[in-house]
């Protein structure tokens, strides 16, 4: 299958079945989204959504956050990954917004990247979600799914993946394609043992097609045996633990 045909099939499927895909982070304005995305680095959206309500109650805007201390912020976000670094980033972000941007969150990727804790991925998320700009934020899910499906070729870095996706996707759909790829990677095309048996994209997925070769089928059989062996080991361990408790 040619790459242009694979892109066409990808767009046709998701435009029909997920026409309104969106981020799973809970937010009500640009400030809240920016904070949530900074916190979400190497952490789950589910965890962030548990933390942000109290955070936004304490710091509802850039001004209030800029007057906080690192210790105060740390206490509110200590359950997320890397709370020490993230508390520094959040404070630095808020203070730079007040000092350099008159308290306003910039609307360009270039200016957003000047803020502490905001890399290219975070900046792309903000402009695509808030402004529907044709920006592709590449996280681990987007990177994995784009390569597996075959939307990208020899793309070894997030920037390389971003450039190829932006080049071949219809410009007006780039902002939502980001969510298509993330959600598919989060729930179906997972990192370990992708759920190919329930995936609706197998008819154009390069990874799945490779699995149908003799070597691919042998690999699947090996992984299946490993999975069964692991389940058996867990079952035996649970039984032994139960016996120890009874004794």
Secondary structure of 41-70 as H, E, C letters = CCCCHHHHHHHHHHHHHHCCCHHHHHCCCH
Active site residue 8: no
Length of the chain (residues): 247
**Cα dihedral: 51, 183, 149, 13 (round 10):** -160
Residue 88 annotated to the active site: no
Distances (CA, A) of 138 to 42, 128, 178: 13, 12, 8
Considering only CA atoms, which of 174, 140, 177, 179 is closest in space to residue 157?
A: 140
Which of 121, 195, 224, 235 is the catalytic position?
121
Residue 114 has which token pair? Answer: 């000047």
Q: Which one of the listed residues 8, 46, 139, 167 is annotated catalytic? A: 139
**Looking at the annotation, which residues are catalytic?**
121, 139
């Amino acid at each position: 299958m040619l790459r242009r045909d694979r892109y066409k099939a990808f767009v046709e499927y998701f435009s029909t079945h997920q026409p309104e895909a969106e981020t799973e982070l809970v937010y009500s304005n640009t400030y809240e989204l920016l904070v949530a995305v900074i916190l979400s680095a190497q952490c789950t959206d589910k965890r962030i959504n548990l933390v942000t309500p109290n955070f936004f109650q304490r710091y509802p805007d850039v001004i209030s956050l800029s007057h906080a201390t690192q210790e105060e912020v740390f206490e509110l976000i200590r359950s997320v990954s890397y709370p020490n670094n993230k508390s520094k980033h959040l404070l630095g972000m808020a203070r730079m917004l007040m000092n350099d941007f008159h308290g306003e969150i910039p609307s360009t990727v270039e200016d957003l990247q000047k803020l502490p804790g905001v890399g290219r991925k975070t900046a792309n998320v903000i402009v695509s979600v808030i402004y529907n700009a044709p920006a592709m934020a590449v996280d681990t899910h987007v990177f994995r799914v784009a390569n597996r499906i075959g939307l990208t070729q020899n793309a070894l870095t997030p920037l390389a993946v971003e450039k190829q996706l932006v080049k071949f996707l219809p410009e007006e759909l780039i902002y939502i394609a980001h969510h298509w790829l993330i959600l598919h990677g989060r729930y179906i095309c997972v990192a370990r043992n992708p759920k190919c048996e329930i995936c609706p994209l197998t008819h154009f997925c390069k990874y799945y097609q490779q699995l149908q070769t003799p070597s691919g089928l042998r690999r699947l059989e090996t992984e299946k045996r490993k999975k069964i062996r692991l389940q058996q080991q867990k079952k035996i361990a649970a039984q032994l633990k139960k016996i120890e408790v009874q004794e």
